[in-house]
Amino acid sequence: MGISFPPPCTSLYPAKGIYGCHRRILKNSACSTHPRILASKMGIGILHSSLQKLNVMAPLTPQAAAALAAIPPGHLNLMGYVSESEVNGPGCRAVVWVQGCPRACAGCFNPESWPFAENLTVSIEAIATRILDNPRHEGVTFSGGEPFWQAPALAELARQVKAAGLNVMSFTGFTLGELQAADAPPGASDLLAQLDILVDGPFLESQAIHAPDSLVSSRNQRVRVFNPELRDRLTWASDRLEVHILKDGTRIFTGFYGQLSNSPH
């Protein structure tokens, strides 16, 4: 079963700063139905100053909890997807951005990922097929949004791609300790068990790092390597930016602007 694409959608435009615990997806130009990208159907609204608060994990609202419960079994609610990325973890990877995060980080790179409302519902099998159909993929990275709010479905996706020999990595705004606690999101331990690499901790704008050799974007974050075979593959960097130019001229940006966002034009 292939991934079905939504009708024409609103392009994504950047918020100032970076979304440190997750990699950014920015779409430039008109939306495309090219199979390498699933773009958000949501535009970016006005970011009210009330959202730029101390970076603590907010509890789910009843609306967010209801939206998560409404996702059909065996499916994910996605913000986006891209193939053949080399700035979202070791080697050539697929990247899956989930929809929904209550954190509202100051300097968030993906504010369009905050709402939990349905954006693009896709079956696990369809995503797995899309990933595995590309022989260049050696792994998949989960980002968002907050991956661990859709942990059960991502754990199943991880099992399917790992069975084919790929490795799995995830970014999260939670700390590892929070994910191991009794009140962690449902399925957190199952997803953790499938990961080869975890980058954990919220992005803290006051501790931001802009360096070409840093694996994380703020000093509080940690890279957890659960698979020893990948210890010498930690080669991505928080200030790298990747551009995908599609056949129709659409440009897809992923990675972090970092220092580039402050460069003179």
Higher pLDDT, residue 200 or 264: 200
Confidence class for position 258, pLDDT limits 50, 70, 90? very low
Report the candidate in 14, 106, 3 with the shortest Cα–Cα distance to residue 51.
106
Residue 249 has a pLDDT of: 76
Q: Residue 243 domain-assigned? A: yes
Phi, psi of 245 (to 5 degrees): -105, 115
In this prediction, residue 133 carries a pLDDT of 98
- Domain assignment of residue 190, yes or no: yes
Instruction: Output the CA angle 156-187-150, nearest 5 degrees.
Output: 70
Specify whether the CB–CB gap between 38 and 25 falls below 8 A: no
**Whether the predicted pLDDT of 115 surpasses 70:** yes
The predicted-structure confidence for 161-207, as pLDDT tens digits, reads as follows 999 999 999 999 999 999 999 999 999 999 999 999 999 988 777 87
pLDDT of residue 237: 62
Residues 263 and 186: their CA atoms lie apart, in Å, by 42
Higher pLDDT among residues 63 and 241, named by residue: 63
Whether residue 5 lies inside any domain: the answer is no
In a domain, 1, yes or no: no
In 3D, which of 68, 93, 92 has the Cα closest to residue 146?
68
Rg (CA), the chain: 17
pLDDT: which is higher, 80 or 31: 80
The total of other beta-carbon atoms located within 10 Å of residue 65's CB is: 13
Q: Give me the number of domains the chain comprises.
A: 1
Q: Which residues pair with 141 in a beta bridge?
A: 95, 169
Question: The dihedral of CA 98, 254, 165, 36: what is its sign?
Answer: positive
The answer to whether the CB of 35 falls within 8 A of the CB of 130 is yes
Q: Which amino acid is at 182?
A: A
pLDDT at 128: 98
| Lowest-confidence region among 90-94, 221-225, 235-239 | 235-239
CB 82 within 8 A of CB 254: yes
User: Tell me, what DSSP letter sits at residue 238?
Assistant: T
**Are 252 and 26 a contacting pair, CB within 8 Å?**
yes
Q: What is the pLDDT of residue 10?
A: 26
Nearest to 32 by CA among 250, 254, 258, 265: 250
How much is the mean pLDDT over the chain?
76
Query: Side chain identity at 54, as an amino acid letter?
Result: L
Q: How far apart are the first and last CA of the chain?
A: 44
Question: Quick one: pLDDT band at residue 212, thresholds 50, 70, 90?
Answer: confident
Nearest alpha-carbon partner for 67 in 102, 101, 118: 118
Q: Is 53 within a domain?
A: no
87 domain-assigned:
yes
Task: Tell me whether residue 236 is in a domain.
Answer: yes
Q: Report the CATH number that the domain containing residue 198 is assigned in CATH.
A: 3.20.20
Q: Domain range for residue 102? A: 24-45+58-256
Report the share of the chain in percent with pLDDT over 70: 69
Whole-angstrom CA distances from 107 to 69, 153, 186 are 29, 28, 27
In a domain, 10, yes or no: no
pLDDT tens-place string over residues 116-144: 999 999 999 999 999 999 999 999 999 98
The answer, yes or no, to whether residue 62 has pLDDT greater than 90, is yes
Q: What is the dihedral of CA 116, 119, 120, 123, to 10 degrees?
A: 30
Checking if the pLDDT of 21 tops 60, the result is: no
Instruction: Say which residues have a Cβ less than 8 Å from residue 181's Cβ, sequence separation at least 6.
Output: none
